[in-house]
Structure 1
Amino acid sequence: MSRWPIRVRLVAGFSVAMLVLLTASAVFVYWRVEYALDRGLDGDLQRATVALEQATGPDGRITDEDAITATGAIYQVLDSRGEVVAHSPSAGAEPIVEPHGVDHPETVDVGRFLAFSDRPLRAQLTPIEVAGGTGYLVVAVRRDHRDEALRELLVQLAISVVGSLAVASAVGYLLARSALQPVEAYRRQAATIASGATGVRLDVPANRDDEVVRLGNTLNDMLAALERALEAERHFVDDASHELRTPLTVLKSRVQAAQRRTRTVEEHEEILGELLVDVERLARLAEQLLELRPEVTEDVLDRITANLVANAHLHGRAPVRVDLQRVGDWQVLTVEDNGPGMDAAMLDRATDRFARADDARARPGSGLGLAIVRSLTESAGGQLRLCSHGEHRRFGTHVDLPCRHDPDRMTATVYLPAEQ
């Protein structure tokens, strides 16, 4: 069944449950009707037995035929050997039932219910005293109407169970198909997205709020997050390739220039020193690129501090002040410098990868320092604030604490959870 479609499995399970329920209900109804009909027959048997016992003489003969005829019952009187000594005209000379040593009243059914019997009887066998020992009084009533009613009930119950099961299965299939139709639509749209389509979202009904709708909304949120991540990765690759291309081109040019003519040992050492500067720049850039994929470790605050201080020394102006204190549930790291700071436009993109102001391009650096700080801070569940000349920018988790710093200084503030 695990290979069957979900709607088929749902309908199959629902149908089996309905079959069990309907069958149990039919058995209960049949049993209750049978019990009621048998009680009616047993009442007739009991009344006829009392009348016959009173009208049976010591020799086993019936003394009052009129009274017995009024009961409408079939009877036989058996001696101790089980032979018929008296009987009603319709009973016959053959025993209706065999006593088999019965010592108390016993009710038995004679004749088959299925297939039909020519002489269906319900009989009560009662021990009585007759000449020569213990005899038996057999009183029987026909159960034709009882059997016919039960057979008719069986047919009606079978039709009802089959009909109800068919209707319930059809309704269950329609409901399952209706419930799973949005999921199938999601699957088709997801296949379209997987084939390379961008900007596509699942069609989620706006006027409903059920499990399938919530699934569609969650998948749309996931698709949006994936698109943002892919777009960020694409920008990162473009920016990284651009930033790496320049130092690699310079390094290649220096090597080619060094190969154009024979040089002295001193000239080679000078060229090697210049090449080492370029290689160290590439190594630093590679390390910074790796830091953009951080894991939250115990040295997060140290790495953040190192990047902020290095950024302040590179792009700011002394003195650089570093302060670390705990405020409530937060550790607050503040780095200030006396540099010119950033304008509003630069503050907006200061944490972007490879973002540098025009006047900073002449200085060393790759524009990854604040991007690394933001990445580390957000990974640790904190917030980065950049403040310059009354302009404030916040990145990461919301922190309900005011800025406390000199408004005339360039300030970078990091809020980290205290347990970090």
Structure 2
Amino acid sequence: MKLREGLRRLPVVTRLVLAVALTMSLVLAGAAGLVYWRVKTALDQQLNDDLTTYQRSLDEAVRARTPPPPGPSGSLQQILDAHGRILHSSDALRHQPLLTSVELDAVVHGATVRRDVGSLLPITFDTLRLQARRVTAAGEPRIVIAAVRRGHRDEALRELLAQLAFASALTLIAASYVGYRTARAALRPVERYRRGAATLADGAQHTRLDVPADRHDEITRLGHTLNHMLDRLEAAAERERRFVADASHELRTPLTLMRAELDVALHRPRSAGELTDTLRSVDTEVQRLIDLSNALLDLEELGSSQHLTRARVRLADLVEAAVVPHRRTAERSGRDLAVDVPDVVIEGDARWLQPAIGNLLDNALRHGTGSVRLTAGVHQGRLRLSVTDEGPGFPPEFLPRAFDRFARAEASRTSEGSGLGLAFVHAVALAHGGTAQARNTGHGGAVTLDLPC
């Protein structure tokens, strides 16, 4: 656990180099082991063949009671009786027994014993490979031991080990260096992006990361993503600054009017009627503040909600509930309010859809002229609802910002309003996964909601 925590604290380049070094060490160890095993097997096979041939010639000489034949260079021989007494031995061995008592007993009972004398590492002299078998000569059992020296074989293996270790070390160093340079080169853009982000954190404005235009790898795509994120953050910050400025202005106006009314009322004695008029004026401004605050809170709730509470609702009932409060307004102004919706069931959040439709109707009645018409239709799982009027329509320069908060078409819309109605409609459409569009029809203005249902 401590090792893992320690590794996590290391820089990414260091961890990548360690991973490369560890992987290469395993690969090199496996390759060196395979090469060593193949060479050792070949040398042992050659040594065993020589030993077997020499053993066979010794066996034949003992059976024929002839002098032992010469063997390979450096070969040794020893002949024992069944009790382990040395009957014949090479001069180099003199009377040194080559077999242990256990091995002697095994050979007497018919087993063939083969083993090495001395070790490869650490280096020892007079290393041998011997083989012992029982042979019957003139009815008497004899133990024939043939031995060959392993000096050349051991020297070749030690040299091979040294060369493999040297080559593996060089390869590991080269691989680690290449891995380090590659990791540094790959992460250099990331470090450059980090420095750019640090300048942004320090308050720099309009800074963008320097992303190469002729590449399309993972790091480049990361740079484009970060730049896109910076664009959106800057746009969000600009919207926030504009929102704060607009909200401050919108709140300042009614508060200033209220303060003026109260100052006038307190400046000199007023009659009961004058005080009543002052209170009514203050009440109007208070209601305007309440409506503005509620609208801002609704927009904030829509923007921060994780999901809507969708439910099945009849479209006709939803629209009727939104239209009823506006019929009397239309009648008082002598205007026609027509509704044409199918009797279908849709899925949506009536809590937000109903006031959104009401805002569209209020906008058309407040700023438009002539008849107001609400139409809706469902096609391929989408609801398309439009509210049109017969007024002068939207000014062309106002259309791109029609759904911005506090946006007003002052040139043609003279009635008072907070400028949040269409912004609320747009927020409801986005929350439902749909869109809102404002346009001119040639006979007035039209706002359309397109929602999945």
Q: Secondary structure at the match of 1:81?
A: coil
Match of 2:70 in 1: 69
Alignment length, in residue pairs? 396
Match of 1:10 in 2: 16
TM-score w.r.t. length of structure 1? 0.89
Residues 1:153 and 2:160 aligned together = yes
- 346 and 208 in structure 1: CA distance in 2 versus 1, 3 angstrom threshold: closer
Match of 1:23 among 29, 35, 41: 29
Match of 2:99 in 1: 97
Paired residues of 1:11 and 1:173 also in contact (CA < 8 A): yes
Match of 1:121 in 2: 128
Aligned-partner Cα distance in 2 for 1:330–1:71: 96
Instruction: Please report how far the alpha carbon of residue 379 of structure 1 lies from its aligned counterpart in structure 2 after TM superposition.
Output: 3.1
Instruction: Please report how far the alpha carbon of residue 244 of structure 1 lies from its aligned counterpart in structure 2 after TM superposition.
Output: 1.3
Aligned-partner Cα distance in 2 for 1:70–1:127: 19
Instruction: Please report how far the alpha carbon of residue 89 of structure 1 lies from its aligned counterpart in structure 2 after TM superposition.
Output: 2.7
Match of 1:46 among 27, 30, 52: 52
Match of 2:39 among 25, 33, 41: 33
Aligned-partner Cα distance in 2 for 1:246–1:385: 30
Instruction: Please report how far the alpha carbon of residue 205 of structure 1 lies from its aligned counterpart in structure 2 after TM superposition.
Output: 1.1
Deviation sequence 1:374-393 (CA, Å, 0-9, x none): 2222332222222325xxxx
Paired residues of 1:77 and 1:135 also in contact (CA < 8 A): yes
Q: Secondary structure at the match of 2:400?
A: helix
Paired residues of 1:80 and 1:132 also in contact (CA < 8 A): no
Aligned-partner Cα distance in 2 for 1:261–1:21: 98
Aligned-partner Cα distance in 2 for 1:360–1:252: 30
Q: Secondary structure at the match of 1:203?
A: coil
Residues 1:275 and 2:278 aligned together = no
Instruction: Please report how far the alpha carbon of residue 95 of structure 1 lies from its aligned counterpart in structure 2 after TM superposition.
Output: 1.3
Aligned-partner Cα distance in 2 for 1:357–1:55: 123
Instruction: Please report how far the alpha carbon of residue 134 of structure 1 lies from its aligned counterpart in structure 2 after TM superposition.
Output: 4.0
Match of 1:365 in 2: 417
More moved, 332-341 vs 302-311: 332-341
Match of 1:193 in 2: 200
What amino acid is the match of 1:34?
A: K
Match of 1:83 among 77, 81, 85: 85
Q: Secondary structure at the match of 1:56?
A: helix
Match of 2:177 among 142, 149, 170: 170
Cα RMSD for the two superposed structures: 2.0
Paired residues of 2:254 and 2:285 also in contact (CA < 8 A): yes
Paired residues of 1:80 and 1:136 also in contact (CA < 8 A): yes
Match of 2:358 in 1: 306
Match of 2:444 in 1: 409
More moved, 2-11 vs 262-271: 262-271
Question: What are the within-5 Å matches in structure 2 for residues 151-300 of structure 1?
Answer: 151-293=158-300, 294=302, 295=305, 297=308, 298-299=349-350, 300=352
More moved, 148-157 vs 90-99: 90-99
Instruction: Please report how far the alpha carbon of residue 49 of structure 1 lies from its aligned counterpart in structure 2 after TM superposition.
Output: 0.9
- 75 and 248 in structure 1: CA distance in 2 versus 1, 3 angstrom threshold: same
Paired residues of 2:395 and 2:409 also in contact (CA < 8 A): no
- 71 and 15 in structure 1: CA distance in 2 versus 1, 3 angstrom threshold: closer
Match of 2:147 among 130, 140, 145: 140
More moved, 2-11 vs 379-388: 379-388
Aligned-partner Cα distance in 1 for 2:144–2:219: 73
Instruction: Please report how far the alpha carbon of residue 104 of structure 1 lies from its aligned counterpart in structure 2 after TM superposition.
Output: 1.5
What amino acid is the match of 1:101?
A: D
Q: Which runs of 5+ in 1 are unaligned?
A: 390-406
Deviation sequence 1:250-291 (CA, Å, 0-9, x none): 011112222223345554333222211110011111122223
Q: Secondary structure at the match of 1:101?
A: helix
Q: Secondary structure at the match of 2:9?
A: coil
- 84 and 131 in structure 1: CA distance in 2 versus 1, 3 angstrom threshold: farther
Paired residues of 1:79 and 1:130 also in contact (CA < 8 A): no
Residues 1:348 and 2:400 aligned together = yes
What amino acid is the match of 2:449?
A: V
Aligned-partner Cα distance in 2 for 1:109–1:216: 66
TM-score w.r.t. length of structure 2? 0.82
Q: Secondary structure at the match of 2:398?
A: helix
Instruction: Please report how far the alpha carbon of residue 130 of structure 1 lies from its aligned counterpart in structure 2 after TM superposition.
Output: 5.3
Deviation sequence 1:215-259 (CA, Å, 0-9, x none): 111111111111111111111111111111111100111122222
Q: Share of identical aligned residues, percent?
A: 41
Aligned-partner Cα distance in 2 for 1:415–1:310: 19
Match of 1:398 in 2: none
Q: Secondary structure at the match of 1:158?
A: helix
Aligned-partner Cα distance in 2 for 1:327–1:20: 63
Instruction: Please report how far the alpha carbon of residue 179 of structure 1 lies from its aligned counterpart in structure 2 after TM superposition.
Output: 0.6
Deviation sequence 1:56-99 (CA, Å, 0-9, x none): 048xxx5134xx12555311011122221112333321112323
What amino acid is the match of 2:19?
A: G
